[in-house]
């Protein structure tokens, strides 16, 4: 299948999601379930990665700033902007593409192979609306929250690492955080996050929903969905930076 066939089927899948829900209460329940699966279950990995990202960025920035002419508050400025502009949205979403994306693709793939999707279709349920829409909506709700959490923890991690390693005291770090802060950067980071959230939920859903064959294909679809999501995240990262900065 070529690129255009995949793209056409992907667009048809997105179009097919929009229909009147058969039962709003069950759709809401599914949305909440997906918020829990995508959001709460990813908190652990996001916390660990973001704290260490901040810590490493602080230590490495300090290592590169060898001249005493540059004030130490610059370290905090660099850590803050790096975390907000790039590391929290992009890196965390690449990780989520692996964690959440593979789960979505394998869940839907397994449902397809074991005829559970057919069973829902036969009942008269729009499976694209019931199975895919809540996943995308949940990702759009919880991924920005995770990224904001990652940004806060990343900056905090930088402060702790700077203090523990004796690079800069917390008071100077705090001063640096307030220096030349541009609120637009937060808007830019959130714009990227929403784009990535859509990618990391809809691409795996596409690959999982259209699995054909056996259990081997579920694994392949899962791997493929993570690869494609990561590539699209990086492409979108560049495109949004070129457009919005």
- Shortest reach from residue 211's CB to another protein, in Å: 15
- Interface characters, 17-36, with another protein (x: CB under 8 A): --x--xx-xx----------
For another protein, give the closer residue by CB, 60 or 110. 110
For another protein, give the closer residue by CB, 11 or 235. 11
Using the contact rule CB under 8 A, the part of the chain among 122-130, 158-166, 191-199, 211-219 near another protein is 122-130
For another protein, give the closer residue by CB, 125 or 190. 125
Give the CA distances from residue 200 to residues 17, 71, 95, 166, in Å, rounded to whole numbers and listed in that order.
17, 40, 10, 39
Contact 159, 53 (CB under 8 A): no
* Helix, strand counts (H, E) of the chain: 11, 0
Q: Which two tokens stand for residue 28?
A: 């809401």
Going by C-alpha positions, the residue among 73, 79, 39, 44 that lies closest to residue 59 is: 79
Residue from 7, 40, 121, 182 in contact with another protein (CB under 8 A): 121
* CA–CA dist 10, 16 (Å, integer): 10
Q: How wide is the angle at C-alpha 92 spanned by C-alphas 87 and 93, nearest 5°?
A: 115
- Shortest reach from residue 180's CB to another protein, in Å: 50
- Give residues in contact with another protein (CB under 8 A): 19, 22-23, 25-26, 110, 114-116, 118-119, 121-126
């Amino acid at each position: 299948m070529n690129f255009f066939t995949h793209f056409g089927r992907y667009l048809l899948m997105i179009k097919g999601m929009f229909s009147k829900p058969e039962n709003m209460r069950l759709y809401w329940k599914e949305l909440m379930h997906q918020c829990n699966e995508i959001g709460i279950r990813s908190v652990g990995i996001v916390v660990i990665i973001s704290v260490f990202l901040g810590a490493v960025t602080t230590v490495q920035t300090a290592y590169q700033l060898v001249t005493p002419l540059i004030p130490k508050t610059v370290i905090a400025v660099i850590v803050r902007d790096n975390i907000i502009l790039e590391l929290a949205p992009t890196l965390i979403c690449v990780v989520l593409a692996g964690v959440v994306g593979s789960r979505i693709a394998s869940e839907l793939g397994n449902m397809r192979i074991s005829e559970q999707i057919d069973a829902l279709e036969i009942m008269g349920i729009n499976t694209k609306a019931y199975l895919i829409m809540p996943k995308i909506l949940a990702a759009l709700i919880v991924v920005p929250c995770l990224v904001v959490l990652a940004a806060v923890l990343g900056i905090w991690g930088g402060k702790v690492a700077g203090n523990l390693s004796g690079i800069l005291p917390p008071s100077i770090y705090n001063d640096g955080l307030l220096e030349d802060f541009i609120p637009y950067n937060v808007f830019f980071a959130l714009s990227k996050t929403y784009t990535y959230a859509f990618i990391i939920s809809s691409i795996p859903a596409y690959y999982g929903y259209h699995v054909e064959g056996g259990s081997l294909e579920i694994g392949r679809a899962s791997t493929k969905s993570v690869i494609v999501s990561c590539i699209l995240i990086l492409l979108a990262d560049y495109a949004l930076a070129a457009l919005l900065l």
